[in-house]
Amino acid sequence: MRHSRFTLTRRRGAVVAALAAAALVLTACSAPGDDPGETPAEGERLQVALMAFAVANTYVAPMLEQAQAVADANNVELTIFDANNDPNAQLAQLQDAIASGQYDGIITQPIYGPGLIDGVAQAIAAGIKVVNVDQILGDDFSTNAVQVEGLSANVSQRPYDMGYKLGEQTVAACASKNLDPCQVAYLYNIKASALDDAMRAAWDEAVAGSPVEVVAEGESFFNPANALTVVQDILTAHPDLHGIVGADQSMQGSDQALTAAGKIDDVLLIGFGGSQQSLEAVAAGRWFSSVMMVPASSGRLAMEAMVSALRDGNDRGVVDPFDGLPNGWIITPDTASQFTAEWPG
């Protein structure tokens, strides 16, 4: 078998520790109703699988916690599958979940959205309700529209919008210091991933024609320690670097490297993620800006949509977790107080 199946229990300690260790316990699940078209009875305990891209990622932790909270309130047993950033493992886990016949519903958080299309279609054909969360399920990364027929809900970000906003902030950061050219390093999360590819394409579009010049690249794998090492090497090769762009975890490592080198006041940090650490750093003027993300809200909305689909037969279609965010999702020193972080960083 290519998957490990766990039940996520309610967290009472630190989020990461709980998710990484004590909060994941082995479980056995009962089979759903035999009739694929059958709506479970109101009091029936439901079995739902959630295909997480990486449980150890601090961004994912609050998403799972909020999904679990909604599950607990609605008599749902939630089983977490951890793909650990491996798209092939995630596809195998999805196939295993479908073949097991144990699940009334499946929530996907794709690592590689195009690769899950056929598997999700198979699940839907088998009478399993499917809700997508956070990442794109499909091959069009410019939209959060439903791309698989029969999907009960799509609660996802829009990578194109994220990348474009990040690009706009990069241009604004360079303009704030009248830098021309403005030499920046671009840090991918996982360079080969569809998400990073889509965001970079949008970022390139946003900075086209500006003084922004990419002089170095790296990837952090969502890990501040990796980013620290990468940025140390970049600073050695490019001591006059003007800015660094990437996810909040990458900015954390970048901050450490710049502080150690005595350059934290000289290099602009432009991030995305909206973590607690980023809100504090942006509010203090230490980082230039961050594009907000909402993992906890996404997890809650996805499980609410799943419960509605299973209990009432309702398909919610597109559910926008960013709806109502201030300032076009952009955290600046002037707007940081308007945001509430949904993950620690």
Span 117-126, pLDDT tens digits: 999 999 999 9
In which order are the strands placed within the sheet that holds 129-134?
Answer: 24-25, 5-8, 76-82, 46-52, 105-108, 129-134, 153-156, 317-318
Evaluate if residue 3 carries a pLDDT over 50.
Answer: no
Nearest to 85 by CA among 95, 93, 96, 76: 93
Q: Residue 237: its pLDDT value, please?
A: 98
In angstroms, rounded to a whole number, what is the distance separating the alpha carbons of residues 270 and 282?
9
What value does the mean pLDDT take over residues 283-310?
98
In angstroms, rounded to a whole number, what is the distance separating the alpha carbons of residues 206 and 283?
24
Span 28-87, pLDDT tens digits: 333 344 444 455 556 799 999 999 999 998 999 999 999 999 999 999 999 999 999 999
DSSP H or E run through 163: helix 159-176
Q: Residue 193: its pLDDT value, please?
A: 87
Evaluate if residue 16 carries a pLDDT over 90.
Answer: no
pTM for this prediction = 0.85
Q: What letter does residue 338 receive in the DSSP assignment? A: G
Q: Residue 40: its pLDDT value, please?
A: 56
What value does the mean pLDDT take over residues 296-315?
98
Per-residue tokens: 60: 């994912």
Span 153-211, pLDDT tens digits: 999 999 999 999 999 999 999 999 999 999 999 999 999 888 899 999 999 999 999 99
Q: Residue 197: its pLDDT value, please?
A: 93
Q: Residue 43: its pLDDT value, please?
A: 75
Q: Residue 324: its pLDDT value, please?
A: 93
Spatial neighbors of 330 by CB under 8 A, at least 6 apart, are: 165, 169, 289, 290, 291, 292
Q: ∠ CA 184-186-188 to the nearest 5 degrees?
A: 170
Evaluate if residue 301 carries a pLDDT over 80.
Answer: yes
What is the band of 108 on the pLDDT scale with cuts at 50, 70, 90? Answer: very high
Q: Residue 246: its pLDDT value, please?
A: 98
Evaluate if residue 4 carries a pLDDT over 60.
Answer: no
Chain mean pLDDT for the chain: 90
Evaluate if residue 18 carries a pLDDT over 70.
Answer: no
Per-residue tokens: 337: 């107080």
Q: Could you give the domains of the chain?
A: 5-157+295-314 (3.40.50.2300), 160-292+328-338 (3.40.50.2300)
Spatial neighbors of 339 by CB under 8 A, at least 6 apart, are: 274, 279, 292, 325, 326, 331
Q: Residue 39: its pLDDT value, please?
A: 55
What are the CA-CA distances from residue 236 to residues 216, 233, 261 (Å)?
11, 5, 10
By mean pLDDT, which of 9-13, 214-218, 270-274 is the weakest?
Answer: 9-13
